């Protein structure tokens, strides 16, 4: 029973606490809405409306002001009392823990506060727009009137500078006047927002028309003076160049310039449309084409200078080159009887001869065109430059081939000299072996000598062939050189080893009686020595001496070198 009572009391306490906090939430929300209402209500809307008093209180201004006052009066007399009533009812409902009712009333009050806040912002925004419109209208209209006055003054004072554009431009400027009057009337009647639309239209039209007053005279200056002057200058330059034997028919300048002059007349008429963007584009295209004509004429001048400077010299070089190709071909025919020419080089002299003859034909035609003055110098320059480039190429190939043929003789002479040297070296090696104080020449050395003789024979045979294959000769001579020099090196090494063996045995003789083991080893070395197995004899003798006296070999080698 006691436990149940305690639980019931605790539940009541919890419920009370929850209700207390819920009520406080609604109280806080009601206070927040009250603050919002007061903030909106306290806005100085009526004071702001006093700003319209400096405007003409007629027409649109008067109607707007009346509507704004009516809207704000409705806020003060209808919406504010309604909000107050709902907030009081919501507060009472919260005290009675009627939270659903309180929430509904709070929502309705919040919506009405939002509505009056929206109306307030609308009133102030429209008010600002009206007042600002009057101020902006006045300043912008003053600028438009001044610009219009300046434009008309310019047009009247310099009407001849506007050509066909003067009449349409004057009509467009005249169209401003009734709009100026309409603006003044609307402003006087307090219709500032409608006047604002007039100002916007005038400003848009002014942005198009006023710049034309400056732009069109400049365009007509291009069309009437500058471009015709350039055309005249190009015609004059063309005439002078043709008197100096320039051929310019391929440029078709007369036709191009005639078309350009026709287009200038069309553009003068087109200025009536006042579409300066299109006219400017066409003028720029004409100027670019004129610039290209200047460049073409300049190119012909530079081309003539190049041709005049190089045409005679090129003919002289061509004559020398042609003669060289004939001489080279004759020399090749002779030399191929003595030397075998690689296949890839066999066509070189014939090809150079044919190319030189073809260049001569091209050059003869070039000279004819040059003398007849019936070809553009730019075309002649291109052809002459091509001939000169090919001449350089042919001469380079010719020089390389001439050097190749010269090298054949040089290489043959060098190979024969080398063979003679190798022959003498092989004889000297054989003589050295037979004069040396050795028991005999081992079979291994005889094999080396035979191989050296065989390689020398092969090299000599290559040198005796007709036609001579110089590449094969060089290969065979190099092989013989390597084999013979290696044989001589081995022969010298063998003789030195024999001398070393003799010194080792002499050095070891002093210990033979006292060291039987050493004596036995030296006997083996002497036997190998007699059998001409010199390498084995050296190893056996050296081992015997080193075993008895470590370091003895180094001392013996020093003694042998000193004796040598």
Q: Give residue 399's domain range.
A: 302-413
The tens digit of pLDDT for each residue in 452-475 reads 999 999 999 998 888 989 999 999
**405 touches 397 (CB < 8 A):** no
> Which positions ≥6 away from 222 have C-beta within 8 Å?
283, 287
In a domain, 324, yes or no: yes
- The whole-angstrom separation of Cα 87 and Cα 102 is 9
Neighbours of 181 (CB within 10 A): 11
With vertex at residue 258, the alpha carbon angle to CA 255 and CA 259, rounded to the nearest 5 degrees, is 85
> Which of 104, 129, 152 corresponds to the end of one domain?
152
The tens digit of pLDDT for each residue in 300-344 reads 889 889 998 999 999 999 999 999 999 999 998 899 898 898 888
Q: Which residue has the tokens 């200058």?
A: 233
Q: Which residue has the tokens 């043709």?
A: 242
Whether residues 545 and 448 fall in one domain: yes
> Which of 152, 174, 191 corresponds to the end of one domain?
152
* pLDDT at residue 13, rounded to an integer: 61
Whether residues 93 and 64 fall in one domain: yes
Given a cut of 60, whether residue 69 has pLDDT beyond it is no
Mean pLDDT of the 201-225 span: 80
Given a cut of 70, whether residue 97 has pLDDT beyond it is no
Whether residues 131 and 144 fall in one domain: yes
Helix axes 227-243, 253-270, angle to 10 degrees: 170
Whether residues 359 and 262 fall in one domain: no
Q: Return the structure tokens found at 396.
A: 């380079």
Whether residues 269 and 395 fall in one domain: no
Q: Return the structure tokens found at 240.
A: 């002078």
Whether residues 144 and 159 fall in one domain: no
In a domain, 4, yes or no: no
> Could you tell me which of 200, 184, 186 has the C-alpha nearest to residue 61?
186
**Torsion sign across C-alpha atoms 414, 417, 421, 426:** positive
Mean pLDDT of the 131-148 span: 68
Whether residues 169 and 135 fall in one domain: no
Given a cut of 60, whether residue 1 has pLDDT beyond it is no
> Could you tell me which of 100, 96, 81, 106 has the C-alpha nearest to residue 31?
106
**269 touches 163 (CB < 8 A):** no
Whether residues 440 and 532 fall in one domain: yes
Domains of the chain: total: 4
* pLDDT at residue 454, rounded to an integer: 94
- The whole-angstrom separation of Cα 198 and Cα 183 is 6
Whether residues 166 and 140 fall in one domain: no
> Which of 132, 152, 172 corresponds to the end of one domain?
152
> Could you tell me which of 139, 265, 120, 286 has the C-alpha nearest to residue 199?
139
Which is higher by pLDDT, 49 or 517?
Answer: 517
Spell out where 395-501 has E strands. Answer: none
Question: What is the share, in percent, of the chain residues with pLDDT greater than 70?
Answer: 70
Question: What is the share, in percent, of the chain residues with pLDDT greater than 90?
Answer: 22
Lowest average pLDDT, out of 74-88, 162-176, 433-447, goes to: 74-88
In a domain, 423, yes or no: no
Q: Return the structure tokens found at 307.
A: 């041709």
């Amino acid at each position: 029973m006691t436990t149940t009572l305690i639980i019931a009391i605790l539940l009541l306490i919890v419920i009370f606490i929850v209700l207390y906090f819920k009520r406080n939430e609604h109280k806080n929300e009601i206070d927040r809405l009250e603050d919002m209402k007061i903030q909106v209500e306290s806005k100085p809307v009526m004071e702001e409306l006093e700003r319209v008093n400096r405007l003409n209180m007629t027409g649109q201004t008067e109607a707007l002001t009346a509507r704004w006052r009516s809207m704000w009066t409705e806020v003060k007399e209808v919406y504010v009392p309604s909000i107050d009533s709902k907030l009081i009812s919501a507060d009472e409902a919260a005290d009675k823990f009627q939270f659903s009712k309180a929430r509904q009333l709070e929502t309705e009050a919040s919506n009405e506060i939002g509505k009056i806040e929206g109306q307030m912002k609308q009133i102030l925004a429209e008010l600002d727009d009206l007042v600002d419109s009057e101020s902006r209208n006045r300043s912008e209209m003053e600028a438009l009137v001044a610009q219009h006055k300046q434009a008309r003054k310019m047009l009247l004072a310099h009407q001849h500078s506007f050509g066909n554009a003067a009449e349409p431009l004057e009509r467009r400027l005249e169209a401003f006047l009734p709009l100026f009057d309409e603006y003044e009337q609307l402003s006087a009647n307090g219709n500032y927002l409608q006047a604002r639309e007039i100002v916007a239209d005038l400003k848009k039209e002014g942005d198009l028309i006023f710049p034309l007053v400056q732009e069109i005279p400049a365009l007509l200056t291009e069309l009437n003076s500058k471009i015709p002057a350039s055309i005249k200058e190009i015609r004059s330059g063309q005439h002078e160049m043709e008197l100096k034997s320039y051929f310019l028919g391929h440029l078709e300048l007369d036709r191009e310039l005639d078309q350009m002059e026709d287009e200038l007349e069309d553009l003068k008429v087109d200025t009536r449309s006042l579409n300066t963007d299109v006219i400017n584009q066409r003028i720029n295209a004409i100027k670019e084409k004129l610039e290209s004509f200047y460049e073409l004429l300049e190119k012909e001048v530079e081309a003539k200078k190049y041709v005049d400077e190089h045409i005679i010299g090129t003919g002289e070089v061509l004559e020398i080159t042609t003669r060289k190709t004939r001489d080279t071909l004759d020399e090749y025919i002779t030399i191929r009887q003595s030397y075998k020419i690689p296949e890839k080089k066999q066509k070189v002299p014939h090809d150079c001869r044919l190319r030189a003859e073809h260049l001569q034909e091209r050059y003869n035609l070039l000279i004819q065109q040059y003398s007849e003055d019936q070809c553009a110098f730019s075309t002649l320059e291109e052809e002459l430059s091509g001939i000169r480039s090919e001449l350089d190429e042919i001469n380079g190939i010719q020089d390389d081939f001439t050097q190749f043929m010269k090298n054949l003789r040089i290489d043959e002479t060098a190979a024969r000299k080398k063979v003679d040297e190798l022959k003498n070296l092989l004889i000297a090696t054989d003589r050295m072996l037979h004069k040396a104080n050795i028991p005999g020449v081992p079979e291994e050395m005889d094999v080396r000598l035979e191989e050296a003789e065989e390689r020398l024979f092969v090299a000599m045979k290559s040198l005796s062939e007709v036609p001579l294959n110089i590449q094969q000769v060089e290969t065979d001579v190099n092989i013989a050189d390597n084999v013979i020099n290696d044989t001589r090196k081995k022969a010298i090494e063998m003789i030195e080893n024999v001398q070393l063996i003799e010194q080792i045995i002499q050095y070891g003789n002093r210990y033979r009686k006292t060291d039987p083991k050493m004596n036995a080893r030296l006997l083996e070395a002497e036997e190998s020595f007699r059998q001409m197995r010199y390498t084995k004899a050296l190893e056996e003798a050296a081992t015997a001496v080193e075993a008895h006296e470590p370091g003895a070999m180094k001392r013996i080698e020093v003694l042998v070198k000193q004796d040598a």
